[in-house]
Every structure is written in C-alpha cells, then in structure tokens.
Structure 1
Amino acid sequence: MMIDYAIYLILAVFVILFLSSAIRILREYQRGVVFTLGRFTGVKGPGLIILIPYVQQMVRVDLRVVVQAIPPQDVISRDNVSVKVNAVLYFRIVDAERAIIRVEDFMAATSQLAQTTLRSVLGKHELDEMLAERDRLNSDIQEILDQQTDAWGIKVTNVEIKDIDLNENMVRAIAKQAEAERLRRAKVINAEGEQQAAEKLVEAGRMLSAEPQAMQLRYFAALHDIAGERTSTVVFPLPVDLLAHLQGQPGADK
C-alpha cells in the first residue's frame, strides 16, 4: 500500500514538473521565439504557450519601445572644434525572429552602432550647425540607424541630441562672436536710420523751399518750443530775406 502511494506521489511530482516546464505565459507586449532541437520553429504569443520539455526552448522578446542613453562622445566638427555630445535613442523590435537569430545581443549592437553613427554624422557638420540645426541632425542620425538596424528586425523611432558640451575657451570665443554680431547689427541699424533721416530732411527742404512762408512758420514754432523750456538761452532766428538785403546794402552804397 505504501508502495502504491509512493508511486502516485512520484507520478504527481513528475506531472507537476512536466507542466511547469511545458507551460509558458506571455504578456501582450511579449513574444516567444521557439527552437525545437536547436532549430527555429516559429514565434508564439501572447497568451498561453505549451512547449515540449527538453525538446523545445523559448526566448522571450519584449516589443515595447526601449529608451537607451548614448554616452558622451568626443566629436571633432568640420571646423576643427572638439565637443562632447550625448543623445537619447528610442527603438523597438518589430521582428522577434531576426532580433534573436541575426544578432547576438541586439541591445549592445544597437548601442555601439548609435555611438559610431553619432560621431560620424556630427563630424561632417560645423559647430554652428550642431547648435542651430539639431532637428535636422536628429533626423539624419535616425534615418541612418534605421536603415542599418532593419536587418536585425529593429525599428529606430527617434534620436534626440541632449547636450553639446564646449570647453571654456570656446564658450568665450562664441560669446565674443555673438557680441561682435550684435555690434554689427547695431551699426547697420544706426546707418539705416541716418539714411532715412537724411532722405526725410531732403524732402522737407524741398517742400519748404517751394513755399517761403512755411519757413517763417517753422521759425515761430521753434520759438514757441524754446519759450516752453526753462533755459536762459534764447535764439532769435532772422528771416533769410533780411540777411540777403543786408548783404546787398554795401554794394548799393558803392
């Protein structure tokens, strides 16, 4: 009797071990790459998966978007400026079979490829382009990575350059350049203002010369403005006709 109980117990333990080895449950975002005697036999999931113990093995694959930080890279720009650049990489697996079979470690492979691509792409641009055209550089890096990782069943969804670190000497040089640019713009604006003022003065002079009475009215307006100010200096403008008459008087006596 005891022997029968022992046999039943052994069978129960065997069944439990068999079921625990055969049954797998995959979540909605997971897939299982199944190998039968070492050969690929399919991708299964999500849900309940039943395997043949010791004959079939399964590798779990996560299909969610992976966020991976690209460590700072030493980049020399096209205008020979040394900078440190880091970025963030977003990618996901779209083909679980290729991600497991065609590359040993898709995480490490994608990380190394992203680092080399970041240095290669940024090295073809000048520093001003790195600082002002990040969106275009992000798109270029993402496109190159996506083309190269397609064979691994990986889709690179986005690349974002985070920081571009410059040494102190370069920061001071950029500050001087920005200051010189602001001074140049100020001088150009001042020159344009002088040009416009000169054009308006020439136009006003032509209008006043056409009507001599208008000049007298301008004299009276100037006197009114001076009288309204608290100043000890008073200027009395003389009519131009009177000055011309005085200048011609000595000639008349002779």
Structure 2
Amino acid sequence: MTEQRGKVGESQSISRAVAVLRFVADHPGASLGEIAKATGMPRSTVQRLVGSLNGEGLVTRSFGQQGVYLGMELARLGAKVALDARVLFRPAMEELHARIGENIDLTVLEQGRVVVIEQFASNEDIQVISYVGRQHPVHCTANGKAHLGQLSRIEAMELLGNDLPAYTKHTITDPKALMAQVEAFRQIGLYVDREEFGVDICAMATTLPDVGDRKLAISLAMPASRFQRREEEVKAALLDFRRTIQGSFGDSI
C-alpha cells in the first residue's frame, strides 16, 4: 500500500512539473503567483517545483528578475527531438530520393525561422545547393509557405510582419496576398515556390506530422526548366510521401 501511494505521489509530481513547464512555455517570465493561479497549485508547491526544475536546467530565473523562463536544457533536448525526426523519416526520404533524384530539404520551424535539419543532394549535374543548418525565409520558399500553413492566420500574419523583402521579381511582398496563396495551397496540401527565392529555382513542399510539437515540412527543389517538366510527377511523389508518413505515424509523434 505504501509503495502504491509512493508511485501515485511521483506521478502527481511529474504531472505538476509538466503543468509548470507548459505554462511557462506559453507565458515566459511568469511569476510564481501567476503560475500558481493558472495551475491551481499552492504557491509553495510551485516554488518547490520551480526550484527543482531550475536545478535540472529545465527552467531558469534570471538574476535580478522574478520571472520564470524555460531553461537551456530543454533546448538541448529539443535538438535531440529534431535528430529523432531525421531518423524517423529517413527511410521514406531515401525512397523519395530514389524516385525523384532531386534536392530534398527536411525543415523545422524554429522561433520563426525555417531551418534545414536533413538534406539529400540532387543526382543531376545542375542542381539546387542546400545543406543542413541552412536557414530559409519563411515568405518566399516552398518550405516556408508550408510552415505558414501549419499556423493559424493570426500567428502567420504576426510572424510575417509588414516588411517582406523581395528576393526576385516573383517574390510576393504583400502579407495578405501571400496568406491568400498559402490558404489555397493548404487545401491541396502542397506549397509551391516559383522562382520567388532564387532566379531559375522552383520548389514544392508538403507538411509532415509534428514531432515533439515541432513543425516539420519537406520539399523537392530543382531548376525551373526541370520543375516545369516534372511538376505533376513531383506532386504525386510528395503526396505519396505524406500519405506514407501519416500512415506510419499519424498526425503527431
């Protein structure tokens, strides 16, 4: 009986700690009182939990400030989740690459930035160059548009702001016009960049299941002439890829 009560207590402590982390994630800089009110826990319990989480690096309290923030240990663990996404999707990505043979970028939306976390180079002599760690604009790339499609309209408009730089003459710089396109793309699940980020470069992307609450997308990119010739083939391949991933993992992992 004592052992069972101990397990219940441990489970309750973990649930309370998770509740604190979730609230702080949505309300960085929250005070102990605010956390206590939101979670329904006594302030003394919150103070004890925050102290324990701080000791593990999961939250931090800046010197001279009262607020609580997520700690760097969570960022380190989050990076491991990104690596897990690479491992989970790699077999299907290899099949996609064998089928199409063009550049593949697996990206994550990280603090408003589109970051490449896995990449397969094109088999062609003339190819689009990319690499792991590269950051793409969110408003004029296929992956970026796919990530915008994963957000609510309000979230997407806040992320875009009012000043969208033009990379080519085809770049859409009006946030409202861009979101109208994104919302139309969302209906079919495919997002296209037609020379909007680079001259003579086109790409098509689709969204993937969330991994650890991280927004993921995958794209195929190639020179515009090959894209025009292979567009229907690329569409079919990406839709098949997404169905394979969703069939294996569902909507989130």
- Tell me the TM-score range normalised by the shorter chain: under 0.3
The structure whose residues are more often helix, as a share, is 1
Q: Structure 2-normalised TM-score?
A: 0.21
- Larger of the two Rg values belongs to structure: 1
Q: Structure 1-normalised TM-score?
A: 0.21
